Structure 1
Amino acid sequence: MVKRAAGALLSAIRIDHDSPRLLATQIASSIREIILSGGLRAGERLPATRTLARDLGVSRTTMVEVFERLIAEGLLEARTGAGTYVSDSVRLGEDISGPPEPKTELESAPEPSVPRPAVTFGADFTVRLPHTIRAFTTALPAVDMFPVAQWTRQSNKHWRTHRDLMLGYGNVTGFPPLRHAIAAHLKANQGINCEPGQIFVTNGAQHGFHIISSMLLKPGDKVWFENPGAIGAQNAIRAAGGDLVPLPIDGDGLDVAEGLRQAPGFRLAFVTPLHQQPLGVTMSLERRFVLLNAAESADAWIIEDDYDGEFYYGTHPIPTLKSIDHADRVFYVGTFSKTLFPALRLGYILAPPPFVPVLEHLFETYLPTAPLNSQAVVAGFMDEGHFATHLRRMRRIYTERYQVLMDCASKHLPGLLTLKPTDTGLHTTGRLATGLDENAVTRAADADGITVTPFGRYAMTPLDKTGLVLGFSGVPPEDIEHGVKRLAGILETELSNQHTRPGMEP
């Protein structure tokens, strides 16, 4: 138990100076109730009588009397030279107040009435993907390779020199140096022409999706959405009232022609053009222009989710959709969860110029602000060049891990799982051999300590293809090799079980 220098805080004690009851009696009753209800645990230290007397505005003599009463009752014990503690015999009232009352009242209480949309939309939400660090969890950066020492130095520097900023509210739209750093990064690395004032810092990408959707959509508005597609974005847009229109993915990306057939009057489209989540398709240049033209014709908008486009394994990055958006139809959403680490909960929106005043008003009036200290550290990390160095290093590491995965798969998975080559992102996909069920394989892998994700987990309507998504970025090479061997054994067992089941030919 963590030692408290001055003992537990006892702010719940209330004194009625107009009561005929003695102050010592009132205080003793309050402390007794706190102990018996579990507010103070056995072995926990109480403040000194002098400290409690000052906190409660009574004489020290009164507090000495209170402690003597409770010691006599067996609730407290004095330890010479160490202070006064809750007696070890007290275990939430085991020895004093008898067994706890049954919780029949709580257990039988009716379910609360929760207003829409929590119930209506919540029932349609997809449970988020697992994030345990193991082979082959998706969407995880290499946290084992993160430059903790550099990060700590940057953090310490800001606490030493900018304490007034770190402990205040700050700019609600984002820490200005971070907005400048993000804008400079997008110009230099993504070919996006933008200004710092267009950048709005959010509590992660999903927060950004929900902000944009809530601003643009009326309940029931049609939203083109990739099928299969990003789970967090599905939930964020549903929560904002959007009616998702699942559209298939072909070799060029989102099927815009099918979108025009199903919902020509769409209001919003959500896409992951650089590395489609989860199939890994890169949207072709021709399809990008078709999508942009469709949005302009329908007076609709597009959310571009660039969740892992920083990590490419060729000589040149793939251009973003936003970089060719001359009609200002695209909201570009980025995140530091993949480039740095997920616990930051830090993302950003690059908004088209007409929406800057609207978003400024929303952020200034009620939207939550991302933690300022985290923003300041990231800004310094970027300004001093550590971010660029980190990205280059991670690209090398992910290239190595990707190659280990592909090499091991070629040795151990032929005839079981065919992996698709990729030149960007943190995961790849595999098509299962005929006769293997993606959900059965997923369950068997999980039982063996491996995470693989079936295509169907991302789907809103049935798919004409099945397979698995395998992440490699957050998995050390030796774990990738062991994971592939174990996955091969699982697939062989599942395939054998399929052949021996009733109705199947041996």
Structure 2
Amino acid sequence: MSWADIYPWSPPEPGEPVVRRLYDQVRGAILSGALKPGGRLPSSRDFSTRLGVARASVVAAYDLLLAEGYAVGRAGSGTYVSSDLSGVIDVKPQAPPTSAPPPPIPARARILDEITFPTPQAEPRLFATGRTLLDARALDAWSVSTRRALRTLGPVHFGYSDAAGERPLREAITDYLRAARGVVCDPDQVIVTSGAQHAVDIAARLLLHPGDRVWMEDPGYPATLHALASAGVAVQHVAVDRSGLVVSEGVAAAPDARVVFVTPSHQYPLGVTLSMARRLELLAWARETGAWIVEDDYASEFRYAGPPLASLQGLDGGERVIYVGTLNKALFPGLRMGYAVVPKALATAFANARQVIDRQPPTLTQAILLDFMREGHFAAHIRRRRLADKAKRDALATALTEQMGDVFEVHVPDQGMHLIAYFKDGRSDLDAEAAADRAGIYVRAISRLYRAVEPRSGLMLGFSGFPARTMASGVARLKKALS
């Protein structure tokens, strides 16, 4: 076999290192069997002369082959293909590497592979959900807290820390939840997570076995459904009406459910609040059957009409409710910080699960957030943003009513970061979503969020991430797109 057959050299592509091309060339010859185990490689001088490359590049490529075990060096003799490869590779010259079918894809991987997530938008489009705005005062205060945290880096940042989160931050979160939401807890029950979804995923891992039955609101939050699907459980979709989750339907359909996933303060996506009667009914059923409740309180800070209803966790006393919250919506999604308040019996297991999954929350981010809360900036920010978001909600609702009142029935929520506009004529909200998308506007069809319950046709419009002054013009663009 000729030299050219073994080393069919071609110059590297622009930006490709010569060393990498040489390495790939020799490695390919070894794996194809053109160079047999125990065979001698050309000397670096001969190789460099024949190919017209620097000898140093050949030496560096050989060093890589030696380091990875493809070749061995013999003092005074040269470099040889490793004999350890005998029987491992196909030694027939020019034979391609043997191939075998990959392992079958597990069922849980197939489930996740089939999920289509919305593509993140680099530039926000009007009415996109899940977006926030920080005013100048909050931004300045966050910058000050960041600089202070960077100036005071200590030993905790240069090693591994508590998987549950730094205790001073958990103490601050405990104080906040006691005052703002009536949550009954101590810092040992608080687990710092990357957000509400992270906490929901951990809860599903700990509380459920494949095949267990769970309740979930219908319509409901898709990410929660994805977590449950990947856990292999049997989801019982339970209807939602003006008073929230219809507990009696859940009891009738799946009385043996092990866990209930619910958004009682601001149901996602419809925005209704679970009534006190339903809250007490749900807790009574859970006590009777020994079921757990995962309370996702993702938008608790933003209530615009009266004080918030007591948390399920506070009503229950913390015995059977896992209370989940997020700071990503209170501040900004890029923060990636949330929490779970778990019953004492689950605290160690929850913290250990968090460590297994992701080791620990970032200590620097925790330090910044702690400073921001201790200095009173978080509470002040929430007060200002609650007023600002209420103005945005009202501006959007007014614009929809005045400009498209013949098309939409507008549900104005008492809480949250989005509202629902139901089509009066029952037209396809999926077609409307596509038309708005072509016009550069992000609205979400709510019909795709239903599973077993007959869907309603309507659009979800976010208002929290955009100035109030943009709402009227945005609705005008939406009207034009839908006409």
TM-score range, shorter chain: 0.7 to 0.9
Partner of residue 208, structure 2: 217
Structure 2 SS opposite 1:331: strand
Partner of residue 452, structure 2: 461
Question: 1:371-421, CA deviations, whole angstroms, 9 ceiling, x for partnerless residues?
Answer: 221111111111111100110111111011111112212220111112112
**Aligned with residue 122 of structure 1, among 112, 120, 135:** 112
Question: 1:89-116, CA deviations, whole angstroms, 9 ceiling, x for partnerless residues?
Answer: xxxxxxxxxxxxxxxx9xx997763223
Distance 2:174 2:270 in 1: 29
Query: Which residue identity is paired with 2:461?
Result: L
Distance 2:17 2:183 in 1: 53
Partner of residue 394, structure 1: 385
**Aligned with residue 28 of structure 1, among 45, 51, 57:** 57
Query: Which residue identity is paired with 1:319?
Result: A
Q: Check the 8 A contact 2:184/2:317 in 1, yes or no.
A: no
Query: Which residue identity is paired with 2:300?
Result: G
Distance 1:320 1:139 in 2: 22
Call closer, same or farther: CA 1:435–1:299 in 2, change over 3 Å: closer
Distance 2:165 2:358 in 1: 12
Query: Which residue identity is paired with 2:269?
Result: P
**Aligned with residue 469 of structure 2, among 463, 478, 488:** 478
Percent of residue pairs identical:
35
Query: Which residue identity is paired with 1:181?
Result: A
Which runs of structure 2 are paired with 1:66-85 in the superposition (5 Å)? none
Structure 2 SS opposite 1:193: coil
Distance 1:143 1:474 in 2: 9
Distance 1:413 1:429 in 2: 13
Call closer, same or farther: CA 1:435–1:356 in 2, change over 3 Å: closer
Distance 1:441 1:30 in 2: 63
Question: 1:306-327, CA deviations, whole angstroms, 9 ceiling, x for partnerless residues?
Answer: 1111011124233222120136
Partner of residue 279, structure 2: 288
Q: CA deviation at 1:274?
A: 0.3
**Aligned with residue 140 of structure 1, among 131, 142, 149:** 131
Q: Check the 8 A contact 1:139/1:471 in 2, yes or no.
A: yes
Q: Check the 8 A contact 1:137/1:471 in 2, yes or no.
A: yes
Q: CA deviation at 1:293?
A: 1.2
Distance 1:187 1:462 in 2: 36
Partner of residue 415, structure 2: 424
Structure 1 SS opposite 2:191: strand
Distance 2:314 2:267 in 1: 17
Q: Check the 8 A contact 2:108/2:230 in 1, yes or no.
A: yes
Q: TM-score, normalised by structure 1?
A: 0.75
Query: Which residue identity is paired with 1:226?
Result: E
Q: Check the 8 A contact 1:203/1:369 in 2, yes or no.
A: no
Q: CA deviation at 1:232?
A: 1.3
**Aligned with residue 273 of structure 1, among 226, 243, 264:** 264
Which runs of structure 2 are paired with 1:254-273 in the superposition (5 Å)? 254-273=245-264
Query: Which residue identity is paired with 1:430?
Result: A
**Aligned with residue 208 of structure 1, among 199, 208, 214:** 199
| Count of matched residue pairs | 409
Query: Which residue identity is paired with 1:29?
Result: V
Query: Which residue identity is paired with 1:234?
Result: L
Structure 1 SS opposite 2:293: strand
Call closer, same or farther: CA 1:267–1:294 in 2, change over 3 Å: same
Q: Check the 8 A contact 1:456/1:462 in 2, yes or no.
A: no
Query: Which residue identity is paired with 1:28?
Result: S
Call closer, same or farther: CA 1:33–1:283 in 2, change over 3 Å: farther
**Aligned with residue 294 of structure 2, among 300, 303, 310:** 303
Q: CA deviation at 1:156?
A: 1.4
Structure 2 SS opposite 1:257: helix
Distance 2:137 2:240 in 1: 34
Which runs of structure 2 are paired with 1:58-69 in the superposition (5 Å)? none
Distance 2:326 2:298 in 1: 6
Query: Which residue identity is paired with 1:379?
Result: L
Q: CA deviation at 1:445?
A: 0.4
The answer on 1:166 being equivalent to 2:157 is: yes
**Aligned with residue 394 of structure 2, among 403, 407, 423:** 403
Structure 1 SS opposite 2:107: coil
Call closer, same or farther: CA 1:437–1:357 in 2, change over 3 Å: same
The answer on 1:383 being equivalent to 2:374 is: yes
Structure 1 SS opposite 2:460: strand
Q: Which deviates more from structure 2 when the two are superposed, residues 333-342 or residues 165-174?
A: 165-174
Partner of residue 84, structure 1: none
Q: Check the 8 A contact 2:184/2:318 in 1, yes or no.
A: no
Query: Which residue identity is paired with 1:309?
Result: S
Distance 2:453 2:330 in 1: 32
Call closer, same or farther: CA 1:435–1:240 in 2, change over 3 Å: closer
Q: Check the 8 A contact 1:442/1:453 in 2, yes or no.
A: yes
Partner of residue 436, structure 1: 427
Distance 2:244 2:145 in 1: 40
Q: Which deviates more from structure 2 when the two are superposed, residues 453-462 or residues 402-411?
A: 453-462
Q: CA deviation at 1:168?
A: 2.6
**Aligned with residue 185 of structure 2, among 191, 194, 206:** 194
Call closer, same or farther: CA 1:19–1:169 in 2, change over 3 Å: farther
Call closer, same or farther: CA 1:417–1:286 in 2, change over 3 Å: same
Q: CA deviation at 1:195?
A: 0.3
Partner of residue 240, structure 1: 231
Structure 1 SS opposite 2:409: strand
Distance 1:418 1:122 in 2: 35
Q: TM-score, normalised by structure 2?
A: 0.78
The answer on 1:157 being equivalent to 2:148 is: yes
Q: Check the 8 A contact 1:177/1:379 in 2, yes or no.
A: yes
Partner of residue 113, structure 1: 104
Distance 2:455 2:106 in 1: 37
Structure 2 SS opposite 1:264: coil
Question: 1:200-259, CA deviations, whole angstroms, 9 ceiling, x for partnerless residues?
Answer: 011221111111110010001111000110111111122222221111101211111111
Q: CA deviation at 1:366?
A: 5.2
Q: Check the 8 A contact 1:128/1:231 in 2, yes or no.
A: no
Call closer, same or farther: CA 1:289–1:129 in 2, change over 3 Å: farther
Structure 2 SS opposite 1:398: helix
Q: CA deviation at 1:359?
A: 2.0
Distance 2:252 2:338 in 1: 34
Q: Check the 8 A contact 1:404/1:481 in 2, yes or no.
A: yes
Partner of residue 72, structure 1: none
Runs of 5+ consecutive residues of structure 2 not aligned to the other structure: 1-15, 24-40, 49-53, 64-95
